Amino acid sequence: MHEWWKQSTVYQIYPRSFCDSNGDGIGDIPGIISKLDELQDLGVELLWLSPVYASPNEDNGYDISDYCAIHPDFGTMEDMDRLIAEAKKRGMGIIMDLVINHTSTAHPWFQASRNPESPYRNYYFWRKGKNGKLPNNWTGFFGGKCWEYDDRSGEYYLHLFAPHQPDLNYYEPKVLEEIKKILRFWLDKGIAGFRCDVINIIWKDSLESSRKKLILTGLEHYHSKEGTHEILRQMRQIIDEYDAYTVGETVFVDTKKACDLCAPERKELHTVFGFEHMECDQIIVKWFKTPHKWGKFMTTLARWQNNVPWNTVYLENHDQPRSIPRFGSKKYPMESGKLLAMLTFTLKGTPYIYQGQEIGMTDFDFTSMDEVRDVESINIHGLLKSACVPAALRWKIIRTTSRDNARTPMQWTSGYNAGFTSGTPWLGINGNYRTVNVAAQKNDPASLRSWYKTLIALRKNSPTLLWGEFELLSATDTLCAYRRIGEGEALTVVLNCCDNVQTVDYTGELIISSCADTYNGTLQPWEAVILREEA
Ligand code: TEU
Ligand code: CA
């Protein structure tokens, strides 16, 4: 039996930046509803929404103050119900973002827990300082310390992310009971599943100081622990009652750890987002980049293909810079964008695309820190400044790594504000919207968007692309190739990942090429082809 979620293409929406219906400069749920026909036309079947819950927005909704309420910026619960229903009418399901490692400090649980006598005290990690120092020496994901002192309660609380994101304490059994209620609340509304934020760090084995010299000091005390696996198995029972789907955002996992989280027989997550392929172009931390090399990248992807039963395939999301400037070519942006799409839809797994990827949106074109909104970028910029890193270098680091690169508003038209809003957008719009936009590409059969549409449909209708075995043939810095072996046929995918023409000796009947109608072994710059052979 093939599970339904293996066949669908997932489209990630970053609601703040997708479509603004009322001119306040912030994308919203009615805006998403107005674009459902557009998404249906593209052929995607699952829509993952980054958080739309009530939140003070210290981390754009990844700091939730009510899991069962919609942020007024995004609309109302009626709007949300309408979105679920309208999506369903078009054969699309909604995946909600589930952020349960932490809440917002504005969550009523946290507010109550500040009182040491409160029954909610144990929902979070409250600790006294040690000898005038913090409770332990851990460091946080956004840089710097991860304990914050609270006057009212006279103790520190743990936050692995921003100070406004206190970590939940799963030693208190009531916390998981609350989470289970939240799962049912949304599943009863008919959603298709959850994307589970930093899910493999929710259980902390201990709060002891770390003696290891790691970039993320303390990681060994909470990374993919048995407690997390146990929680996931309990959540899965509810998920299965509704035949829903889960994808875990699982940080720092290798293929072995990924399998422990998503091997079918373990009944935890259905799939995970690995990061190893996204970390090929970094030196230890993401703020220090090394040039992208296709050989290492493809080898890493192939290792996941060969060692994880069912992958997610993604090249972008709301935390990562855009893929074309990163993995593709300055000289051939649209050609290399097409090659990246070919990679996404011909590897084995559930493909994910991030809003704007299908039209080739690129990194922001901001010129100063004043234009940056991302809490992580602002923190890191501050840390670099206090470490006396020169201004030009600081800015270069932010430019190449900031999460705002992918968060600029969706480019719909060449008109006012790219058709995103009639007001002032919450984050700057990339100046290239006049040429890079949905309207310009929609009716052009040669456009990147049309190519995405073709590949989504091709994969959906090809048992070999869906289920065929994967075999790596070549992974050099200029040429990658692999084969998908299905029943009665083998499909060879050849990717010319460089700015030069190349001649290769792969053979077969041409199924599709990103830039030609025929194939004779010569590939244009960034050309991607699928060749078919009887097997
Ligand atoms: O990201 C988790 C995470 O590990 C990020 O800190 C990641 O390392 C970084 O963004 C890469 O640049 C998730 C969400 O996707 C992110 O948007 C949230 O800020 C974070 O969790 C906290 O909820
Ligand atoms: Ca709005």
- Quote the DSSP letter at residue 62: S
- In whole angstroms, give the CA distance from residue 36 to residue 90: 8
Nearest to 479 by CA among 462, 501, 456, 509: 501
* Ligand at shortest distance from the CA of 32: 2
- In whole angstroms, give the CA distance from residue 291 to residue 174: 47
DSSP string covering 102-171: B--TTSHHHHHHTSTTSTTGGGB-EE--BTTB-SS--B-TTSSB-EEEETTTTEEEE-SS-TT-PBB-TT
Per-residue pLDDT of the chain (535 residues; tens, 9 = 90+): 579 999 999 999 999 999 999 999 999 999 999 999 999 999 999 999 999 999 999 999 999 999 999 999 999 999 999 999 999 999 999 999 999 999 999 999 999 999 999 999 999 999 999 888 999 999 999 988 999 999 999 999 999 999 999 999 999 999 999 999 999 999 999 999 999 999 999 999 999 999 987 789 999 999 999 999 999 999 999 999 999 999 999 999 999 999 999 999 999 999 999 999 999 999 988 999 999 999 999 999 999 999 999 999 999 999 999 999 999 999 999 999 999 999 999 999 999 999 999 999 999 999 999 999 999 999 999 999 999 999 999 999 999 999 999 999 999 999 999 999 999 999 999 999 999 999 999 999 999 999 999 999 999 999 999 999 999 999 999 999 999 999 999 999 999 999 999 999 999 999 999 999 999 999 999 999 999 999 8
If DSSP states are collapsed to H, E and C, what string results for 428-493? Answer: CCCHHHHCCCHHHHHCCCCCHHHHHHHHHHHHHCCHHHHHCEEEEEEECCCEEEEEEECCCEEEEE
What pLDDT shows up at residue 212?
85
| Amino acid (one-letter) located at 27 | G
Q: Whose CA is nearest to atom 6 of ligand 1?
A: 141
Beta-ladder partners of 475: 480
| Closest ligand 1 atom number to CA of residue 162 | 22
Angle formed by the axes of helices 173-188 and 226-241, nearest 10°: 30
- Annotated catalytic, 249? yes
Is the distance from CB of 304 to CB of 277 less than 8 angstroms? yes
Nearest to 476 by CA among 457, 504, 456, 450: 504
What pLDDT shows up at residue 215?
80
- For ligand 1, mutation pick of 141, 279, 287 (most atoms within 8 Å of CB): 141
Q: Whose CA is nearest to atom 12 of ligand 1?
A: 319
* Ligand at shortest distance from the CA of 402: 1
Is the distance from CB of 473 to CB of 482 less than 8 angstroms? yes
Ligand 1 center to 435 CA (angstroms): 31
What pLDDT shows up at residue 1?
58
* Ligand at shortest distance from the CA of 168: 1
Q: Whose CA is nearest to atom 14 of ligand 1?
A: 197
| Closest ligand 1 atom number to CA of residue 62 | 23
User: What does the block give as tokens for 255?
Assistant: 């293929």
Which string of b and e fits 21-31 if b means at least 16 CB within 10 Å?
A: beebbbbbbbb
Cβ neighbourhood burial of 154 (10 Å; 0-12, 13-18, 19+): exposed
- In whole angstroms, give the CA distance from residue 223 to residue 202: 8
Ligand 1 center to 370 CA (angstroms): 22
Query: Which residues, 6+ apart, have CB-to-CB distance to 151 below 8 Å?
Result: none
What pLDDT shows up at residue 289?
93
Q: Which residue of the set 28, 97, 197, 363 is catalytic?
A: 197
Q: Whose CA is nearest to atom 10 of ligand 1?
A: 319
3-state secondary structure of 25: coil
Q: Whose CA is nearest to atom 7 of ligand 1?
A: 319
- Annotated catalytic, 197? yes
3-state secondary structure of 237: helix
Angle (nearest 5°) at CA 21 between 357 and 428: 50
Which amino acids bring their CB within 6 angstroms of ligand 1?
Answer: 59, 62, 99, 141, 161, 197-198, 249, 251, 286, 318-319, 376, 403
What pLDDT shows up at residue 321?
98
Considering just the CA atoms, what is the radius of gyration of the chain in Å?
Answer: 23
> The tokens 């075999």 sit on which residue?
471
Q: Whose CA is nearest to atom 22 of ligand 1?
A: 62
- In whole angstroms, give the CA distance from residue 57 to residue 162: 11
* Ligand at shortest distance from the CA of 202: 1
| Amino acid (one-letter) located at 162 | A
Element (H, E) at 97: strand 93-98
pTM of the complete model: 0.98
- In whole angstroms, give the CA distance from residue 181 to residue 284: 39
Ligand 2 center to 16 CA (angstroms): 8
Q: Which residue of the set 63, 167, 249, 316 is catalytic?
A: 249
User: What does the block give as tokens for 281?
Assistant: 């172009």
- In whole angstroms, give the CA distance from residue 482 to residue 468: 12
Query: Which residues, 6+ apart, have CB-to-CB distance to 131 below 8 Å?
Result: none
- In whole angstroms, give the CA distance from residue 103 to residue 113: 12
Ligand 1 center to 197 CA (angstroms): 8
Angle formed by the axes of helices 333-346 and 448-460, nearest 10°: 10
Q: Alpha carbon 200 to chain centroid distance?
A: 15
Element (H, E) at 92: none
